[in-house]
Structure 1
């Protein structure tokens, strides 16, 4: 009966949220409201529909000057980007000497920093975003948190010496709670009543600050929540564990803030055969009407099935094979089975299963989470360097397999959201290039996967042109599939004010060495600048990607 208080708390909150929230599953029809709301499968604000291209800049509240924040927001807005996703958490177990922090979590006690290097920095970002005409998605915690020491600079036990807040996974998060509350399994973050109380207290303090701020797009409950992280999962963690947590915290936020949307932040993993806490209710069949001349009959949205995924993968391989035959590039060096060539027996075996994306092994059923009444829209992510989204196809180049698997993932997610009847947003997508490879660190680690063999790789990742082609394909696919928002990961900004011991540390000298302007006069201080954090996805200096995002911003707005 260890979790009896937690079970009781959940059902009391869940009952209240169900009674209060079910009517609002359709739309808040405040046509003239400055707050973003939903109307069926779309977003509405100020009486108009909203579709957008966004970017991730999790580090914005850690910049050293307000001028840097203002200029960064201006550069983002200039491309037509409408929404920025950032971390609304910054947890530490020891107060740092320099830099920003929001919450101290130490030995089972929690205190919030409301000072100028605390939540006031987040206030500044949100106020300036409103002035720039931008919206922000506020993520409230992170699934990923590395094993770090208590200093302000170095990640222990690795070859990474980045300053705290440089890596996206080094802002605190779930595992910091678990460790500081003396627990051992990652999923105890979702089930332990003391942690839940502390997290909801922090959530209260953040959400209550912005109840009346129209620049907040949504409160995202967590970045990529799942059963495991750097700490392992317990045997009892299932999709129902994480769905229950989402329902509980979403109901808590709704009790504080009736104005803003609430979203999940999951990676989009589905479980086609898992039991559902929020099963889909079949929509009534529309009246049978003939489509207009030249128009196709619109089919009803259906849940994603395992059979569908396998069929689509097989059909794509068939098309690629036929194209390779026509181009004369097919090399039939595999195994001949029943009169047909396959690449290898292993490849054949891979096609018989949908894998971890669809079997619930991460403890995530994003469709069930999206169907929670207080969750406003469906969300998912796309990071092929950290997650396989389908089997490789030997008939195309490796990067083309990545591009095609990603495109299928996008259309599958759009279908899943459509079955729920809510908008769908790709909250983060990225592909590591060879240029960015030396900076690449997976979200669940503090070192690159090739660090031991080659700390300065030259062959890992795609070329810049392959990245550009893939981004263009994914954006076009998302717009055509009806996604309501597509958020690139991550924005990059140069010429930022650098200060030792902060996220932006001195890296580039922008003036000559200091020399006295006249005898006896003190030398002029040396001015330094730095760049925004880069964990392998930054687009600092990439005008090509910026142009692609700008073009997509125009396309999705016209869709």
Structure 2
């Protein structure tokens, strides 16, 4: 991917006028000012992180300890899940937690309980009250939250639960974006969350969905959700307009991975065949440039997992460079944001292996700083010395607290990994200077 090629494509894309920055937002609310964020009339650039598991913690001290560690590292924004759902058939296990301790995870946070007619809301101590506590604790530590409404993937009851319950057997994943009954159910939950916290300056932004794609890890896509179909983009437009109708002040973003739909997408050789790169040919369903121009999408976000995306290229002895590919990906999104005139945030990124992290993260972080990213958020925060369940606590799927450590998917950066954490604390200091 060449910078000149990117610039040429962006020029052909044309100029999209960004929505004007709000001038009447309440005190303490972050808003946009061109390609920057603004807080009470001052620039707001930040270093952030991800901790989807925070509302799953039932121990208040663990929540506070996590935010305290984050604040000490210069973290200003944290992204977390505003959802978690179970099927009604799982509910008895939650209610018998003391009798069946291996199901203790079910007692944590499940705001939605699904059955044959839809879902019911759980506002109790193991429901939305846990998210309430995360919001209040974040405020105590001067940290703001990006709250995500649902998930493209199976984890914690995402879009496929809506599809399975409301559209029925045989429905494809992309029905989530087009079926009126599914959309109404999603909007009902969104309205619940937005109305609950829309007065809070602790909310940095609302996020429509984590990593929307035409397909999920369980359900396939239909032929209707194809490159150029606009299925995801039109859904982003519809839902961002809906959220704006509920909340005129908080910012809204997509939660997407940032895939492009280019007329001349990047290509690479694989098994003696020239293939187009799914991150640039629209195969996943996104069109980052078009979506960023939507009037109620206030800033752009993108994700970056080069090892995961290109396992066929990343092997010992290959000429593929994880580091170089990432630098180009960062540059492409920065150029797009400049053309559209909105802030850009690298919202998730990671590599596995401690040596990879210490070698690659400095160059990636420096490139985001050099290209004036308004926010830098790595995946994910790793917290030690958690006490819940004696420091050993299963959640769901493969997620768990093990010996007091928060869930480890290979990307987590723990507080004792100073060589890696220092990369981010230094970036936090630079972002803080830019906010002065």
Question: In 1, distance between residues paired with 2:194 and 2:372?
Answer: 30
Change (3 A) 1:31 1:375: closer
Contact 1:498/1:505 (8 A) holds in 2: no
Q: Name 1:369's counterpart in structure 2.
A: 291
- Provide the residue aligned with 1:475 in structure 2: 365
User: Which residue does the alignment assign to 1:357?
Assistant: 279
Structure 1 distance, partners of 2:361, 2:348, is 12
Aligned residues of 2:17 and 2:341 also touching (Cα < 8 A): no
Task: Indicate the residue corresponding to 1:215 in structure 2.
Answer: 202
Matches of 1:501 and 1:134 in 2, distance apart?
A: 26
1:25 is matched with 19
In 2, are the aligned partners of 1:143 and 1:224 still within 8 Å (CA)? Answer: yes
CA drift of 1:64 comes to 2.2
Assess if the C-alpha contact under 8 Å between 1:539 and 1:545 holds in 2.
Answer: yes
User: Where does 1:302-381 land on structure 2 (aligned, <5 Å)?
Assistant: 306=265, 350=274, 354-381=276-303
CA contact (8 A) 2:323 2:364 kept: yes
CA distance in 2, matches of 1:227, 1:102: 25
Q: Corresponding residue for 1:384?
A: 306
Offset of 1:125 from its aligned partner? 0.6
Counterpart of 2:64 in structure 1 is 70
Superposition TM-score, scaled by structure 1 size: 0.66
**CA distance in 2 between partners of 1:390 and 1:38 (Å):** 40
Q: Work out whether residues 390 and 405 of structure 1, in 8 Å CA contact, stay in contact via their aligned partners in 2.
A: no
Q: In 2, Cα distance between the equivalents of 1:91 and 1:31?
A: 33
Could you tell me which runs of 5 or more consecutive residues in structure 1 were left unpaired when the two chains were aligned: 1-21, 146-168, 274-304, 314-344, 434-463, 509-529
Is the radius of gyration larger for structure 1 or structure 2?
1
What stretches of structure 2 of length at least 5 have no aligned partner? 1-15, 95-106
Give the drift of 1:480.
Answer: 0.4
Query: Deviation of residue 502 (structure 1)?
Result: 4.7
Report how far residue 495 of structure 1 moved. 1.5
Structure 2 residue matching 1:209: 3-state secondary structure? helix
- Return the alpha-carbon distance in structure 2 between the equivalents of residues 543 and 111 of structure 1: 44
User: What is residue 101 of structure 2 aligned with on the other side?
Assistant: none
In structure 1, which of residues 424, 435, 452 is the aligned counterpart of residue 344 of structure 2?
424
What SS does the aligned partner of 2:283 have?
Answer: coil
Q: What's 1:131 paired with? A: 140
1:237 pairs with 2:230: no
C-alpha distance in structure 1 between counterparts of 2:402 and 2:46, whole Å:
34
Instruction: Supply the distance in 2 between the matched residues of 1:64 and 1:99 (Cα, whole angstroms).
Output: 6
After TM superposition, the structure 1 = structure 2 runs for residues 187-226 of structure 1, keeping only pairs within 5 Å, are: 187-226=174-213
CA drift of 1:127 comes to 1.0
Aligned residue pairs total 393
In the alignment, is residue 558 of structure 1 matched against residue 436 of structure 2?
Answer: no
Q: Which residue of 1 aligns with 2:84?
A: 90
1:57 corresponds to = 51
Cα gap change, 1:557/1:61 in structure 2, threshold over 3 Å: closer, same or farther?
Answer: same
Whether the aligned pair in 2 keeps the contact of 1:99 and 1:501 (CA below 8 Å) is no
Distance in 2, Cα, partners of 1:358 & 1:496: 41
Structure 1: distance between partners of 2:289 and 2:358 = 30
Contact 2:50 2:377 in 1 (8 A): yes
CA positional deviation for 1:471: 0.8
Structure 1: distance between partners of 2:388 and 2:26: 42
Partners of 1:389 and 1:405 within 8 A in 2: no
- How does 1:113-512 map onto structure 2 within 5 Å? 113-145=122-154, 169=155, 171-181=156-166, 182-183=168-169, 184-229=171-216, 230-238=218-226, 239-273=229-263, 306=265, 350=274, 354-388=276-310, 401-433=321-353, 464-499=354-389, 502-503=394-395, 507-508=402-403
Helix, strand or coil at the partner of 2:413: coil
Provide the C-alpha distance between the structure 1 equivalents of 2:39 and 2:334, rounded to a whole number of angstroms.
Answer: 21
TM-score by length of 2: 0.84
Q: Residue 557 of structure 1: CA displacement?
A: 2.9
Corresponding residue of 1:524: none
Q: What is the alpha-carbon root mean square deviation over aligned residues?
A: 2.5
Residue 420 of structure 2: aligned partner: 545
Q: What is residue 36 of structure 2 aligned with on the other side?
A: 42
Measure, in 1, the Cα distance between the counterparts of 2:380 and 2:68. Answer: 16
CA distance in 1, matches of 2:307, 2:161: 25
| Residues 99 and 502, structure 1, Cα contact 8 Å, conserved in 2 | no
SS state at 2:309 partner: coil
| Pairwise CA distance, 1:48 | 0.6
Query: How far off its partner does 1:394 sit?
Result: 9.7
Distance in 1 of aligned mates of 2:300 and 2:17 = 18
Q: Mark the CA change 1:501 to 1:390 in structure 2 (over 3 Å): closer, same or farther.
A: closer
Deviation at 1:556, TM superposition (A): 2.6
Is the CA contact 1:218–1:262 (under 8 Å) kept in the aligned structure 2?
Answer: yes
1 or 2, which has the higher strand percentage? Answer: 2
Cα gap change, 1:79 to 1:232, in 2 (>3 Å): same
- Moved beyond 6 Å, runs of 4+: 389-397
Greater fraction helix: 2
Cα distance change, pair 205–391 in 1 and its aligned pair in 2 (3 A): same
Offset, 1:252? 1.1
Q: Which residue pairs with 1:340 in the alignment?
A: none
Q: CA deviation digits over 1:192-246, x for unaligned, max 9?
A: 1111111100000000011110011100100100100120001101341111111
Q: Secondary structure at the match of 1:375?
A: coil
